[in-house]
Amino acid sequence: MDDGHDHGSDPEDLLECAACRIVDAADGKVDGKVFDLAHWEVTSERQHFRRLRTEQDRIADKVTGFAGSLKFVYIHGIWFAAWIIINIGLLGVGLEFDTFPFGLLTMIVSLEAIFLSTFVMVSQNRQAKRSDLRSQIDFESNLTSLIWTAHVAEKLGVDIPHVERVVELAIAEARRTIGDETQGEAPVPA
């Protein structure tokens, strides 16, 4: 079928149609790529998120980050071991200050757990808000693309197999470029 589009598997061949050359040149350089993250004026959820973060959010993140680390576990392991060693009299009866069943230690650890759980919830709530923001930005971007595509496709004769192949290659390149961690390895288009 000779419709002016090359449907071959070589990515450079796909950029032979006029529309693909326009997309390639849209970022100010003709480099044979239809995806360049720096070019597209897509709102970054990271930029929105940084603007919305308060000092309290940063502190909560630091506390939660530390509490979720192995350093935190090691420090607490050493602290508990030292507390118990001192308070069972291994270093001398005169040093004991919280005898078994270690009521003071229990109270301190309980208070620490209350505060840490609060910090974790604050961080989780903010992450949920960030996810909501990301979803809204994705929705707006997708809706914009859908509306443009529908209007343009109505006016033009669209070579669907060619367009789908270019989309597959662009998605694969985007996944390689930005690292789609949720999908693992980027699929190679057939």
The model's pLDDT over 1-14, given as tens digits with 9 standing for 90+, comes to: 444 444 445 555 66
Q: What's the mean pLDDT in 82-96?
A: 92
pLDDT recorded at residue 150:
66
Q: How big, in percent rounded to 5, are the helix, strand and coil portions of the chain? A: 65, 0, 35
Q: Compute the average pLDDT of residues 104-131.
A: 90
Q: How far apart are CA 15 and CA 22, in angstroms?
A: 9
Render pLDDT for 140-175 as a digit per residue (tens, 0 to 9): 888 888 778 867 876 788 887 788 788 888 888 888
In the prediction, which pLDDT does 96 show?
Answer: 92
pLDDT in tens, 26-50: 666 777 776 665 555 555 666 767 7
Per the model's pLDDT, the better-predicted residue between 121 and 18 turns out to be 121
Average pLDDT, the chain: 78
Residue 22's pLDDT is 72
Q: Which of 17-21, 80-84, 136-140 has the lowest mean pLDDT?
A: 17-21
pLDDT at 82 over 90: yes
Distances (CA, A) of 89 to 51, 74, 85, 100, 143: 54, 23, 7, 10, 70
**More confident position, 110 or 24:** 110
The pLDDT value recorded for residue 138 is: 85
Q: Percentage of residues in the chain with pLDDT exceeding 90? A: 23
Enumerate the domain spans of the chain: 54-148
User: In 3D, which of 58, 65, 55, 48 has the Cα closest to residue 138?
Assistant: 48
Angle between helices 70-87 and 103-155 (to 10 degrees): 170
pLDDT of residue 103: 95
- Give the model's pLDDT for residue 42: 54
